[in-house]
Structure 1
Amino acid sequence: MGLQFAAARAVSAVSTWGLKHVFHRPAANFPGKVALYVDPRVIADLAPRLQKGSVCVVGTNGKTTVTNLLADALETAGQRVVCNRTGANLDSGVATALLHAREADWGVFECDELWLAKILPHLQADYVLLLNLFRDQLDRVGEIDRIQESIAGALAASPKSTLVFNADDPLCAAIAERVGNPTAAFGVDEDLHLPQNTVADAQMCQRCSTMLEYAYRQYGQLGAYRCPTCGFARPALDCAARDVRLGADGLSFAAHGPRGDAALEAPFSGAYMVYNLLATWAAADLVSVSAEALQRAIDAFDPRNGRLQEFSVAGRRTLLNLAKNPTGFNQNIKIILQDEGPKAVAFFVNDKEGDGRDVSWLWDIDFEELAGQPGLRVFAGGIRKNDVQVRLKYAGLDAALVDDASAMFAQMDALPSDARAYVIANYTALPPVHAELGRLAGEAPDAAGGASSSPKSPGDPSGSGAAQATDGAAAPIRLASQAMEGDRAPVGPSSPVQNENVPAAGADPAPLMIAHLFPDLLNLYGDGGNVKVLERRARERGIPVEVLRVNHGEYVDLADVDLVFLGGGPDREQRLASEDLMRMRDDLHAYVEDDGVLLAICGGFQILGREWLLGEEVVRGLGLVDMTTERAPGGSGNRLIGNIALRSPLAERVVVGYENHAGRTRLGAGVEAFGDVASSTGHGNNDSDKRDGVRYRNVVGTYLHGPLLPKNPQVADALLARALERRARRAGVPVPELAPLDDAVENAANEYVRNRLNAG
């Protein structure tokens, strides 16, 4: 320590005083940030203040809860603790916590997965507690492989740190296998018999890329897994939960470990809280906190940070919780479903930098589980409330738009007085909702929830919260005139008409056949939502539909298919799917040349060409379209990312979406693009010709996620129109006219992005 350290402490103290007394803001990050600028070794300089050691808590979900609960347990056991309790989990947050603290026994620090590499080498923590790894903010942090490499690198720089990891997660187990650090494994050692969600983040062996087999799954990729090829499997558990009981009133389990056993219970719901408590117990046991002290900490645990926090608003019990990725939202939905009574649920979603700009992941959430719940009111809020409303619509839920939590409570008058409210918010949406619920909870019931009239959403004079649009429905689609190669007029708007969503008397029963290729592998960015949209838009017109989910290793006769969907996936999964696709090459070529309809997104779009980018390698493609994809200078880190708007012959409205790709695609001479970039922020196929995607016969390929079709219903109907023409030829049935649908919700979501990009 020297002048640099002294200067760092001085500027930290001044900035802390200014933030608290002048700007009246919390000083959780900035003092550490300026201190690190002055002295990059400030964490290492302050680490000796921790007399007994430190614990870093890392993982996608549950970090803040586990960090606070472990710190509480240590304090209950009489230890002095330094902790970044507010969730300021970058190096600046850890530095700030240390700068503000005096000498202590233990440090317990929440650490961002990618920032652990900047914290652990300086802190040299005794333990790193790895909770789980799920896809989260793909546009910011990239694929999970990158996170694994970063965590493994951090551990290599602190070789004496013991890795305490979730062995039920193959992604965590792969890190433990890779590093040379001491390890301790925890997991749930029995089948909880939980219903499974649609999308799981890790289907393949981390060693050899074979599909994993499961004796049982808990949720996501967590469970008892093994690879039938190389033997990679869940490690033996050092700390195990057994005799797990999950109920609406709480949970309990028996914890077994090398130092003893414990019976733990908590008034929380959800399987994910079993893992959070088990992880806390595993770490507490290692730092010599007794089971009795941990149980007392659990009993007294009263989070005030919006994580599983209870409020009483207008006499209604209200639960607020954070969810920032599909797994988190799905686990919250499980909690909501335990309440069998009438209830209101609000989802607040932002897309600020801390959240990730891409909201495609909303379509990987199983909102459908809420459909059909009696006495359920659903609300959509946050910056991207229009996207939430569209997603809920296609899940069978009619959501009202709200600007804040007050608007939600003002619209709950029709529900019984004992109906509960659930508010789920993502990262940056949580603080304002948390603050508002705190304010409402302090007001009299009439002030909080007794408004005499419902607030009006922007552009909604009815006050119902539903999106309004003067051009909500498209005109009936003349199938033969729909443009697929750019030489025909786009669909125009018209007045909405009623649709009874039932087949007309005597309607032909031959279903429209949609093949979703390899959804078990190619499931990034919520692109499966495109299939949901196509299916629903056909059914609402009384057209029978059958969706074939063609998983890895399965075969489909494309002669019996009218529309094929092909998405993108992580590199490991995409490589395996490409082997299946190359075996289908001749069938796909015949299908395309016979005017079969094909929608391909991102990696699925790339493989249509003669060459495409698989990881960092350019490999042979299907050759269905004259185009190639090459590696960008600088490799996969040089990505084209952001919201984008296009003008396409397939839609009169501007087409909006989100792109995130490292490949640079070049179309052959005379090959038509899906659309031309109409926004200043969009890149397109290669960032030079300002065109995105491809159109060839009835093939549409694009880099647009979002997913593509929910906010661009005219494109969806263009694809359906051509698919119905193929069905007519295949099955010998008449070609129906596509009746217009009420697309007010979809068009409002489109308009929001379009206006944001100034792409009117």
Structure 2
Amino acid sequence: MAGNTEPLSPRAKLAVTAGKAAAAVSRAAGRGSGSVIGGKVALRLDPDLLARLAQHLDVVLVSATNGKTTTTRLIAEALRAAGPVVSNALGANMPAGITSALAGGSDAKFGVIEVDEKYLAGVARDVTPKCIALLNLSRDQLDRAAETRMLAEKWREGLSGSKAVIVANADDPLVVWAASSSQQVVWVAAGQAWKDDAWSCPSCGGVMQRPGDDWFCGQCGFRRPTPTWALTGDHVLDPHGSAWPIHLQLPGRANKANATSSAAVAAVFGVPPQVALERMYQVQAVAGRYDVVSFLGRDLRLLLAKNPAGWLETFSLIDPPPTPVVLSVNARGADGTDTSWLWDVDYTQLAGHPIFVIGDRKLDMAVRLEVAGLDFRVCETLDEAVQSAPPGRIEVIANYTAFQDVRRRVGN
């Protein structure tokens, strides 16, 4: 628990040292940050290392299908008002990556940790968090992720005995059902743009009724809880009824929702909303997302969209037609190899934009756009797409590994 500064055992120190050495070798070989291999080596030497590294920290865990990397960054920025923070800021969100991140934070007071949805319950057992933020659940990586209700059930079972304060999105029925087993829940009205994974009641399977912003099950009575925090326009409404302005450099409604949840988390740690929200303004980009870069004489804005809910939010961010748009989709291990989710995305929202398609699965995307009745051009490379695009800033929307490919090519 936080406050316990018991020194690391010789075995744990050896594990940390070996992990850092493995990470350094990986970086030197040009294989990325090395955080995952470093964490794997460290955990192999000391399987309890994650718990040991977290024992002196006040920990908050952040989990969701979309927005967890950004929200983790916003919370970390807010909590720095109250002390040093260690965080897995680059998004390595499974136990190995989390272990690597914590190994670098021996002087920290707070641990702000993004956790992959499938690993949330296990990591929560290891690190005894003070707070857990649950933002949303929707379909993602269809070849290996559990169906959303099964994932919600794992959360529900895994968090049922937790003493953590759960900060949960009251507008997502799956999140509400998952959080309802917990002793202390702070409900946040953060919104839910993508509703296609939440039409049946997670409690009984009945059809959800959705009058306005409300929702309830007509069969079992499961219903939206009353939130104490809310996003209203450009303001966060706190439990005392005070409205605090949101000033972000990050675009879009989804990030205002992320900021609202982050302010609720910061309050659990004693940081008032005004201070938390002011500090969030410092965040300009998150692991390259939203960055505007210069490439081949053009300005490119880099946007990440990994699943149908993420693409829906991203379409709301882009500049209006005739802004050119480059779409890049891969289906490698980290993306999920099943691209059938493309058919759940309403690409007709891109009508009027000149569209250029790249990536490993550019032909899958081309078929989808053809069926949507859109004009587009398939290109072999990002360079070809950029050189073919008409004038103006170019919006580049890519899924996970495609986004990394784009960043490498533009030197970001």
**Inter-partner Cα distance in structure 1 for 2:321 and 2:361:** 28
Question: Matched residue of 2:112: which SS?
Answer: strand
Deviation at 1:18, TM superposition (A): 2.1
Give the counterpart of 1:64 among 59, 62, 69.
Answer: 69
Per the alignment, residue 206 of structure 2 pairs with 210
Name the TM-score, length of structure 2 as normaliser. Answer: 0.92
Letter of the aligned partner of 1:234 in structure 2?
R
- Which of residues 366, 376, 379 is equivalent to 2:346? 366
- Give the residue type in structure 1 aligned to 2:228: D
Q: 1:435 aligns with which of 385, 388, 408?
A: 408
1:326 and 1:118 map into 2 onto residues whose CA distance is 27
SS in 1 for 2:280: helix
Which residues in structure 2 correspond to 1:226-237 (within 5 Å)? 226-237=216-227
Q: Deviations over 1:149-188 (max 9, x none)?
A: 222233236x2111110010000011122x2331110014
Matched, 1:12 2:19: yes
* 8 Å Cα contact 2:167-2:187 kept in structure 1: yes
Residue 322 in 1 paired to residue 324 in 2?
no
Among 263, 273, 278, the alignment partner of 2:245 is 263
Q: Structure 2: which 5+ residue stretches go unaligned?
A: 1-7
CA contact (8 A) 2:136 2:169 kept: yes
1:3, distance to aligned residue in structure 2 (A): 4.8
| Correspondences of 1:522-541 after superposition (within 5 Å) | none
- The residue type paired with residue 354 of structure 2 is R
Secondary structure of the residue aligned to 1:140 is coil
Structure 1 unpaired stretches of 5+ = 217-222, 245-251, 440-760
C-alpha contact 1:350 1:428 (8 A) present in aligned 2: yes
Write the deviation string for residues 279-302 of structure 1: whole angstroms up to 9, x where unpaired: 111112222223333333332211
Which deviations, in whole Å up to 9, do the C-alpha atoms of 1:364-384 show, x marking residues without a partner?
A: 00001222x2xx210111111
Contact 1:214 1:224 in 2 (8 A): yes
Q: Distance in 1 between matches of 2:30 and 2:367?
A: 39
Deviations 1:622-666 (A, max 9, x none): xxxxxxxxxxxxxxxxxxxxxxxxxxxxxxxxxxxxxxxxxxxxx
Q: Deviation digits for residues 485-530 of structure 1, max 9, x if unmatched?
A: xxxxxxxxxxxxxxxxxxxxxxxxxxxxxxxxxxxxxxxxxxxxxx
Q: Secondary structure at the match of 1:240?
A: strand
Q: How does 1:182-221 map to 2 (within 5 A)?
A: 182-188=184-190, 200-216=196-212
SS in 1 for 2:215: strand
Q: Would the aligned equivalents of 1:323 and 1:425 in 2 still touch at CA under 8 Å?
A: yes
* Aligned amino acid, residue 66 of structure 1: T
1:603-642 → structure 2 map (5 Å cutoff): none
TM-score (ref. length: structure 1):
0.51
SS at match of 2:225: coil
CA-CA distance at 1:404 after TM superposition: 3.1
Q: 1:259 to 1:33 in 2, by over 3 A?
A: farther
Map of 1:379 onto structure 2: 356
Please give the secondary structure, in 2, of the residue aligned with 1:142.
coil
Tell me, yes or no, if the aligned pair for 2:229 and 2:238 is still in contact at 8 Å: yes
Partner of 1:422, secondary structure, is: strand
1:82 and 2:55 equivalent?
no
Structure 2 matches for 1:594-673, cutoff 5 A? Answer: none
- Give the conservation status (yes or no) of the 8 Å contact 2:88–2:114: yes
Matched residue, 2:167: 164
Deviation at 1:2? 4.0
Counterparts of 1:447-466 in structure 2, within 5 Å, are none
Deviation by residue 1:87-144 (Cα, 9 ceiling, x = unmatched): 0000011100111222211000000000112311110111110010001112111201
Match of 2:177 among 174, 177, 187: 174
- What code does the residue aligned with 2:239 have? G
Which is greater in Rg?
Answer: 1
* 1:239 equivalent among 203, 211, 229: 229
Residue identity opposite 2:22 in structure 1: S
Give, as a single letter, the amino acid of the residue that structure 1 aligns with 2:369: L
CA distance 1:98–1:72, shift in 2 (3 Å): same
State the one-letter code of the partner of 2:378. Answer: L
Q: CA deviation at 1:23?
A: 4.8
SS of 2:326's equivalent in the other structure is: strand
- Distance in 2 of aligned mates of 1:257 and 1:64: 26
Between structures 1 and 2, the one with greater helix share: 2
The aligned counterpart of 2:268 is 286
Change in 2 beyond 3 A, CA 1:188/1:58:
closer
* C-alpha deviation, 1:226, in angstroms: 1.3
RMSD: 2.2
- Secondary structure at the aligned position of 1:115 is classed as helix
- The one-character-per-residue Cα deviations of 1:40-63 (angstroms, maximum 9, x if unpaired) are 11011111232xx01000000000
Flag the 1:358–1:20 CA change in 2: closer, same or farther, 3 A: closer
CA contact (8 A) 1:405 1:437 kept: no
**Higher RCO structure (Cα 8 Å, ≥6 apart):** 2
Instruction: Please point out which of 280, 296, 311 is paired with 1:298.
Output: 280
Preserved contact between residue 255 and residue 263 of structure 1 (Cα < 8 Å):
no
Is residue 259–residue 285 contact of structure 1 (8 Å, CA) maintained in 2? no
Q: Distance in 1 between matches of 2:411 and 2:273?
A: 33
* Local SS of the residue matching 1:82: strand
